[in-house]
Amino acid sequence: MSSANPKPSAPVLDHDKVADQAGSGSYVANFESKDSALTRFQKFLHKYPVAAPTIVLVFAIIGFSLLVGDRFLHPFNLSLVLQQVTIIGVIGVAQTLIILTAGIDLSVGAIMVLASVVMGRMAIDHGLDAGFALLIGISVGALAGLINGTLITRFKLPPFIATLGSWNVFFALNLWYSKSETIRSQDIANNAPLLQWLGETISFFGARLTYGSLLMLALFFLIWYALNWTAWGRHVYATGDDPAAAKLAGIRTDRILLSVYVLAGVVCAIGAWVLIGRIGSVSPQAGYTTNLDSITAVVIGGCSLFGGRGSIYGTLIGALVVGVFRNGLALAGVDVLWQEFTVGILIIVAVGVDQWIRKGTA
Amino acid sequence: MTAHYDQQPVLQARGLVKRYGSVTAIDHADLTLYPGEILAVIGDNGAGKSSLIKALSGALVPDEGEILLDGQPVHFNSPMQARELGIETVYQNLAVSPALNIADNLFLGRELRKPGILGSVFRMLDKKAMEERAQAKMKELGLMTIQNISQAVESLSGGQRQGVAVARSALFGSKVVIMDEPTAALGVKESRRVLNLIKEVRDRGLPIILISHNMPHVFEVADRIHIHRLGKCAATITPESHTMSEAVAIMTGAMEVDDSSAAA
């Protein structure tokens, strides 16, 4: 990179060029000799962080359709992929919000399971109206997020440690409250069908979409709007990007962080509803890997773990990349362990690419 | 534009005191800023200029003394309160968000929302209005070498970033702009641009308090120079009344000044 910029004045010219890529085309040619193709690619990725996962997704789809043929591209299979990534997508929304603030939430999966157990027990064991049980479950999610947010903003604990602790606490509470018992699908279907509603499907052209998948897409749209079109969203980015600068600009960063953790808790509780729809029953052992899967989706989606960079639809693409790889490899008859292997490689490559992008434009 | 020393001061600090345990950072300090002037504040490290400036920008609450804005006593508990009263601060460490674009940075914390239901219910940002106003302000201050108002601040040079910070203060500052070492992080060429920008802001009627270590810069742009020493004002001079080495001598205590109000 630096070897391609022989003159010391080159960095000053670089941003002119970046600006020009968006504007007139004639100017770009003047600087082509200064930037190698690799450097330009790096800058392109920096400007459009979602580009990398999108490229990977497109190539993965092409690759698997060549490898396993029509079975992969069949609308039913593609809608299956969407169903398979729905929970990770929803929890990924929560995780994205937190990672944008340069935090991390290891407790998202535990919040989801705890909320699902609360929803199930409220509706089945306590005989509450299913809608009311849902609201209580969502309140539990909000409360869990409030606890995380308070630990991080008030007691200044690092998010990793705070949520590592609360993960265990929430998971233990979940085992205690559920008595480690599963609520059977049949009982829910008879007494509180609303809890399973998100698992119902609508079919068209051979594709079967669940209401849960549609809710996930709606959540992505809602949070995309909030992040990009409201002052709150700008403040979330600013807080993650440079908290000191955000504070100097008059943003109450602690409030922003607290709101992000509470919102993430609510989204996780919505994920609990989706989870019940997906598996039918309420199990205190369900969704145990969701924590790390959600981080995987966010990271592959191009969000920077250092905060302030990335976009919410990157996470959707990240989740789809993981879903497509797992599904495609399964259809190709590859052992599950190689699915895990591939996802691991994807994570490492994604973080590596992020580091490389950041290094080139510091 | 010349400063108006016969008028009421815009900003005045009287007998400010701030102690940290046994350390007295501000020791009965006074400061007077007149309309239309650039008042430089210089002082050795540890002289307490930062504390004084923090008190004036609301980042620090003094233990004693009073601050007058247009002759009225004011009291700030946070930088936000000072900003609401029209005192803007440009910080040394380029207090801009690198990943956000220029327009977003100018309006950070003071975003404009769309009129009507889109703004009131859906809280929708009026990106177009913000971009237009940002564009107009950058143009007015001669910063239009920055072509694209929606480019990320991190793609700008240090001087351009400082330009964004100065434009932000000029956009919202209605009374006073405080600049804390605005050229400290910049190269020679970029410092020059920022100095011109400072004069430009002053010529548009905003008085400026400029904190700087750089004597040539201070002597170039300042109308008056407030020399801070041992937590208080040792002297107020002008670039005409004293030389740079005299200013340094006063700053370090090598030279005593009897009449500290000699210059104004």
Token pair 């956009």 is found at B171
Q: Rounded mean pLDDT of B228-247?
A: 90
| B189 has a pLDDT exceeding 50 | yes
Please indicate if any CB of chain B lies within 8 Å of the CB of A71. Answer: no
In which domain, by residue range, is A34 found? 1-47
Give the ipTM: 0.83
**Residue ranges of the alpha helices (H) in B146-209?**
158-172, 188-203
Residues A84 and A19 in one domain: no
Domain presence at residue A34:
yes
Q: Does A249 map to a domain?
A: yes
pLDDT of residue A24: 38
Would you say residue A17 lies in a domain? yes
**Same domain, residue pair A221 and A314:** yes
CA distance B16 to chain A (A): 23
Chain A nearest C-alpha distance from B120 (Å): 11
CB nearest B80 (choices: A47, A229, A250) = A250
CB A255 within 8 A of CB B80: no
Co-location of A148 and A241 in the same domain:
yes
Cβ pair B151:A15 closer than 8 A: yes
Collapse the DSSP code of A359 into the 3-class scheme (helix H, G, I; strand E, B; otherwise coil) and give the result.
helix
Residue A54 placed within a domain? no
- The answer to the question of residue A309 being in a domain is yes
Same domain, A36 and A168: no
Q: Residue A206 is part of a domain; what is its CATH number?
A: 1.10.3470
* pLDDT score of B175: 92
Same domain (yes/no): A133, A18: no
Structural domain includes residue A55: no
Nearest to B108 among A238, A308, A309 (CB): A238
Q: Are residues A34 and A151 in the same domain?
A: no
pTM of the complete model = 0.85
Considering only CB atoms, B99 lies closest to which of A229, A235, A237, namely: A237
Statement to judge: residues A186 and A313 lie in one domain: yes
Each residue of B126-152: pLDDT tens digit?
999 999 998 888 888 877 666 688 888
Local confidence band at B260 (pLDDT 50, 70, 90 cut-offs): very low
State the pLDDT confidence band at B258, using cuts at 50, 70 and 90: low
Q: Which of A18, A250, A308 sits opposite B155 (nearest CB)?
A: A18
Q: Is A291 exposed, middle or buried (0-12, 13-18, 19+ CB in 10 A)?
A: buried
Residue keyed to tokens 């990943």: B99
Instruction: Give the long-range contacts of residues A180-183, CB within 8 A, separation 24 or more.
Output: A180/A284, A181/A284, A182/A281, A182/A282, A182/A283, A182/A284, A182/A285, A183/A120, A183/A121, A183/A124, A183/A125, A183/A281, A183/A282, A183/A283
At A29 the pLDDT is: 36
Computed on alpha carbons and rounded to an integer, the radius of gyration of chain B in Å comes to 19
Q: Note whether A246 contacts B97, CB cutoff 8 Å.
A: yes
Same domain for A251 and A156, yes or no, is yes
Contact A256, A101 (CB under 8 A): yes
Q: Which domains are seen in chain B, by residue range?
A: 11-99+152-252 (3.40.50.300)
Q: Give the pLDDT score at A16.
A: 40
- Tell me the longest C-alpha to C-alpha distance in chain A: 75
Instruction: Find residue B24's DSSP bridge partners.
Output: B19
Q: Are residues A24 and A77 in the same domain?
A: no
Residue B204 — very low, low, confident or very high, per pLDDT cuts 50/70/90?
confident
Residue A221: inside a domain, yes or no?
yes
Q: Are residues A15 and A81 in the same domain?
A: no
* A99 and A142 fall within a common domain: yes
Q: Which of B97, B146, B164 to mutate to test the interface with A (most CBs of A within 10 A)?
A: B97
Question: CB of A221 within 8 Å of any CB in chain B?
Answer: no
Residue B100 to residue A234, Cβ atoms within 8 A? yes
Residue A53 located in a structural domain: no
Structural domains counted in chain A: 2
Return the structure tokens found at A227.
Answer: 């992040």
Per-residue pLDDT of chain A (362 residues; tens, 9 = 90+): 344 444 444 344 444 444 444 433 333 333 344 678 888 888 888 778 888 889 999 999 999 999 888 889 999 999 999 999 999 999 999 999 999 999 999 999 999 999 999 999 999 999 999 999 999 999 999 999 999 999 999 999 999 999 999 999 999 999 999 999 999 999 999 999 999 999 998 988 888 899 999 999 999 999 999 999 999 999 999 999 999 889 888 899 999 999 999 999 999 999 999 999 999 999 998 877 888 899 999 999 989 889 998 999 999 999 999 999 999 999 999 998 998 898 899 889 888 888 888 776 54
pLDDT at B80 over 50: yes
pLDDT attached to residue B124: 92
Chain A partners within 8 Å of B124 (Cβ): 229-230
Residues of chain B with pLDDT > 70: what percent? 94
Element (H, E) at A267: helix A253-279
B55–chain A nearest CA distance, Å: 14
Does the distance separating the beta carbons of A245 and B97 come in below 8 Å? yes
What pLDDT sits at residue A6?
43
Element (H, E) at A229: helix A211-229
Instruction: Let me know whether A150 and A288 are in one domain.
Output: yes
A242 touching chain B per CB within 8 A? yes
Predicted pLDDT of residue B105: 92
Contact A249 B155 (CB under 8 A): no
Contact A19 B148 (CB under 8 A): yes
